[in-house]
Amino acid sequence: MTSPHTVFWEAVLDNGRVQRETEGVRYADIDRMHMKSFRLISAGTIVAEVFASHGRKGSVLCYRRRTSLTHDGTRKIVFILGFVPLGPVYVVDPENEEVLSFDQWGQDGWYMPEPIPEEHEHFTFTSKGHTIDSIVKAVLPH
């Protein structure tokens, strides 16, 4: 089991440089033009990683830390990452060591993120679409 509080993102650029959330880089400031992959890290281990497909229209990087907060004090955190609108998009649940992928928002109660200004391409994710040139690697610790 991995605590979601120890999970942070990294963007690996095609020149080998790495932009890290832990170094104060904002998600909005990721160099998307030169991003090779985007990954979640916990204690030096890759939790999940998606690889960019440059030049493919409809592949806007999408990352969200989704928190569900209940009145009884329960706090559940999952991570959404992938590319929209064509996909693939994954939900990473570090606590339960699960990676979910889905064909359509609304499936199993997962609703679509709202775009922020930096994700200026309109994203309307309806289908997983063409995933041949994108690979997801999930290495959840056991």
Partner 1 sequence: MAATVYINRYYGAGPSTRDAASGNVRFSTSDNDYTTETANPIPIPPSGTNYSYWVCTALYANTSPTGTINNVKWYMDGTNGWTGVTMEVGTSDTYTQATGTAGTTGDELTNTNYTGGTLTPTDPSADSAFGYTSGSPLSVTGSISNPDTGIITDYVIIQLSVGTGASAGTLGTESATWSYDET
Nearer to partner 1, 101 or 130 (CB): 101
Q: In terms of CB distance, is 15 or 74 closer to partner 1?
A: 74
Two tokens at 61? 């990087």
**Smaller CB distance to partner 1: residue 10 or 21?**
21
Distance, C-alpha 76 to centroid of its chain: 17
Nearest distance in Å: CB 133, partner 1: 25
- Closest approach, Cβ 132 to partner 1, in A, equals 28
Please enumerate in sequence order all residues whose Cβ is within 8 A of that of 5, keeping only pairs 6 or more positions apart, or say none.
77
The distance of closest approach from Cβ of residue 78 to partner 1 in the complex, given in angstroms and rounded to an integer, is 10
Nearer residue to partner 1 within complex by CB, 51 or 110: 110
100: number of Cβ within 10 Å: 15
Contact residues: partner 1, CB under 8 A? 5, 21, 26-28, 63-74, 80, 106, 108-109, 111, 113-114, 116
How far is Cα 93 from Cα 139, in angstroms, rounded to an integer? 12
Cβ–Cβ < 8 Å for 40, 50: no
Residue 49 pairs with which residues in a beta bridge? 39, 137
User: What's the closest the beta carbon of residue 57 comes to partner 1, in angstroms?
Assistant: 23
